[in-house]
């Protein structure tokens, strides 16, 4: 940017102070459902049965899913949280076993660990990808570690090669949390196919959705055959018969959910392509703005930008991330300060160890020494204290990105002046 334009931009009055907003455009509303979903639901209502096992909608969903994710064992289920619980149980997590994962994620990542009486162990993150720091994962491994859950936050692929090598070295199960990563690719491989088990969410807020739903899948013969049983009360529906051999929840998906999800799968690649382009373009346009750290994604990967997360540099800007986000919102950019506000380990249930009616059995039985009041991940906390979440989706145009970048520049230059 030329000095003249830089000076002009830095002297513009912020909208929050009475100036003209930088944005002239708004994001169009998302049109997620239509005649295709209605047609599929109508066909579903003509079926003699809506039971999941023989359901044609679930069969269709699995076929369309495997077009993008060529995994041998696929279990559609009731939610992404359910998918992760099934994966954790298939991995053999039991009382006192530790599972290392991200400190910035949804509760759904760790609910299954806790229900299996496992112990979530939170590792720190890389500063601008917001994904697991592999070296900190290495430091957190103990003889009790059973698995690692890699969260591909915002659809940005984790360093899967390094994580897979680390897990293989210590005989750990690598579970991929792909809830925010539909369509993402790591070095040309679909996210969810590199680790031992992949988990996806079909929640209403994800790239594609059916209100609520999920998928867990694997090609590993140690875990794949267990997925259906651990999502269906441990009943073996293959025809082999037999009574349940262990405790498992009922996480079966329904035919109406699957009907909508099957149609959504046909839109997944196109929608994620638009998000991928928007995220890359925004990062490109933020490169030279003082006090701004763009969201980083490796150029070799397909990052599908479920949302965009930038960070401010408090050493350069004379404001905190909340003030910056408020100013940016006034300019017309849909932005908010922080993401989960605090790391998971600072949620009240972790701070109070209040997992089961005020109790934590594995602690009472001396199966763990974990004390979440003592957990501290410095980069994670720095991220949440400096990050700003910006909404992008498949309706985002290059013109909107240009204006949003100009608005971010305007606010940054004001506070850098």
The β-bridge relationship of strands 145-151 and 98-102 is: parallel
Q: Tens digits of per-residue pLDDT, 244-297?
A: 999 999 999 999 999 999 999 999 999 999 999 999 999 999 999 999 999 999
Write out the two tokens for 225. Answer: 């055959």
**pLDDT tens for the 417 residues of the chain, in order:** 434 344 444 568 999 999 999 999 999 889 999 999 999 999 999 999 999 988 999 999 999 999 999 999 999 999 999 999 999 999 999 999 999 999 999 999 999 999 999 999 999 999 999 999 999 999 999 999 999 999 999 999 999 999 999 999 999 999 999 999 999 999 999 999 999 999 999 999 999 999 999 999 999 999 999 999 999 999 988 887 778 999 999 999 999 999 999 999 999 999 999 999 999 999 999 999 999 999 999 999 999 999 999 999 999 999 999 999 999 999 999 999 999 989 999 999 999 999 999 999 999 999 999 999 999 999 999 999 999 999 999 999 999 999 999 999 999 999 997
Domain ranges of the chain: 35-264
Q: 410, 22 in Cβ contact below 8 A?
A: yes
Give the model's pLDDT for residue 10: 54
Please tell me whether the overall predicted TM-score, pTM, comes out greater than 0.85 for this model.
Answer: yes
Dist. CA 305–CA 106, nearest whole Å: 17
- pLDDT for 300: 98
Question: Distance between CA atoms of 127 and 396, rounded to whole angstroms?
Answer: 26
pLDDT, residue 2, reads 39
pLDDT for position 40: 98
The b-or-e profile of 92-116 (16+ CB within 10 A means b, else e) is ebeebbbbbbbbbbbebbbbbbbbb
CATH topology of domain 35-264: 3.40.640
Residue with token string 């441990």: 234
């Amino acid at each position: 940017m030329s000095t003249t334009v830089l000076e002009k931009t830095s002297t513009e009055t912020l909208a929050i102070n009475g100036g003209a907003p930088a944005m002239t455009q708004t994001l169009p509303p998302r049109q997620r459902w239509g005649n295709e979903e209605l047609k599929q639901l109508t066909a579903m209502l003509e079926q003699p049965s809506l039971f999941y096992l023989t359901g044609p909608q679930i069969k269709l969903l699995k076929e369309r899913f495997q077009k993008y994710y060529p995994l041998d064992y696929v279990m559609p289920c009731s939610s992404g949280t359910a998918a992760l619980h099934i994966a954790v149980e298939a991995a053999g997590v039991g009382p006192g076993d530790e599972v290392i994962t991200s400190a910035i994620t949804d509760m759904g990542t760790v609910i299954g660990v806790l229900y299996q009486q496992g112990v979530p162990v939170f590792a720190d993150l890389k500063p601008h990808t917001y994904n697991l720091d592999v070296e900190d994962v290495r430091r957190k491994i103990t003889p009790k570690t059973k698995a690692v859950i890699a969260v591909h936050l915002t659809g940005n692929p984790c360093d899967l090669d390094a994580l897979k090598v680390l897990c293989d070295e210590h005989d750990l199960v690598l579970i991929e949390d792909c809830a925010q990563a539909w369509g993402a690719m790591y070095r040309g491989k679909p996210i969810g196919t590199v680790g031992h088990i992949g988990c996806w969410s079909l929640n209403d807020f994800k790239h594609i959705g059916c209100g609520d739903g999920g998928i867990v899948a694997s090609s590993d013969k140690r875990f794949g055959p267990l997925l259906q049983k651990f999502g269906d009360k441990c009943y073996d529906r293959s025809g082999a018969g037999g009574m349940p051999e262990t405790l498992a929840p009922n996480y079966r998906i329904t035919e109406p959910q699957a009907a909508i999800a099957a149609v959504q799968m046909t839109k997944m690649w196109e929608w994620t392509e638009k998000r991928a382009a928007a995220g890359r373009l925004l990062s490109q346009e933020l490169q030279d703005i003082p006090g701004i750290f763009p969201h980083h994604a490796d150029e070799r990967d397909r990052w599908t930008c479920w949302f965009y997360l930038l960070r401010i540099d408090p050493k350069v800007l004379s404001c905190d991330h909340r003030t910056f986000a408020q100013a940016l919102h006034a300019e017309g950019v849909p932005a908010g300060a922080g993401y989960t506000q605090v790391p998971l380990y600072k949620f009240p249930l972790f701070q109070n160890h209040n997992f089961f009616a005020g109790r934590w059995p594995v602690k009472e039985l001396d199966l763990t020494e974990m004390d979440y009041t003592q957990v501290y991940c410095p980069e994670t906390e720095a991220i949440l204290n400096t990050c700003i979440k910006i909404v992008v989706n498949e309706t985002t145009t290059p013109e909107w990105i240009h204006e949003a970048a100009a608005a971010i520049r305007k606010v940054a230059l004001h506070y850098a002046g």
